[in-house]
């Protein structure tokens, strides 16, 4: 999977950078949002916890997708501004710990 950044815009009112990018994945299945998020964070050298992938629109039959992401300045700005369903989509899956059984 390869990511190319098309446009990066500073938005000082919302304390974030808005990033438009292309994702190429020839011969592979459409990547998950979390995979794109971690790869994009590596490309722009940013904290993965402050990055939110808002949209990922695959192009039918081409092995490409156009995406839109937002990089916030702080965790506070991210939680105050971003919608709940977008945050859930960008959250790492929680590992459930099995409760320990009590022995008598």
Structure tokens at 20: 């438009």
Q: Does residue 97 lie in a domain region?
A: no
pLDDT tens digits along 37-79: 999 999 999 999 999 999 999 988 889 999 999 999 999 999 9
Q: Residue 75: which CATH number?
A: 3.30.70.330
Number of domains in the chain: 1
pLDDT of residue 98 exceeding 90: no
For the chain, what percentages of helix, strand and coil (3-state, to nearest 5) are there? Answer: 30, 35, 35
Q: Does residue 99 lie in a domain region?
A: no
Q: Does residue 32 lie in a domain region?
A: yes
- Whole-number Å distance between alpha carbons of 70 and 17: 6
pLDDT tens digits along 13-44: 999 999 999 999 988 888 999 999 999 999 99
Question: Which one has a higher pLDDT value, 4 or 28?
Answer: 4
- Whole-number Å distance between alpha carbons of 78 and 100: 36
pLDDT of residue 99 exceeding 80: no
Q: Does residue 100 lie in a domain region?
A: no
Mean pLDDT over 4-20 rounds to 95
CA nearest neighbour of 89 among 32, 28, 46, 48: 32
Q: Which domain holds residue 37?
A: 2-89
- The predicted pLDDT at position 103 comes to 54
Q: Does residue 58 lie in a domain region?
A: yes
Map residue 85 onto helix, strand or coil: helix
Q: Does residue 48 lie in a domain region?
A: yes
Q: Does residue 102 lie in a domain region?
A: no
DSSP 33-48: HHHHHHHHHHHHT--G
């Amino acid at each position: 999977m390869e990511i190319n950044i098309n446009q990066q815009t500073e938005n000082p009112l919302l304390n974030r950078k808005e990033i438009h990018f292309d994702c190429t994945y020839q011969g592979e299945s459409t990547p998950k949002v979390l995979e794109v998020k971690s790869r994009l964070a590596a490309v722009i050298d940013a904290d993965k916890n402050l990055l939110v992938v808002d949209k990922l629109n695959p192009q039918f039959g081409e092995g490409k997708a156009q995406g839109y992401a937002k990089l916030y300045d702080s965790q506070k700005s991210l939680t105050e501004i971003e919608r709940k369903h977008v945050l859930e989509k960008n959250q790492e899956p929680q590992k459930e710990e099995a409760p320990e059984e009590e022995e008598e």
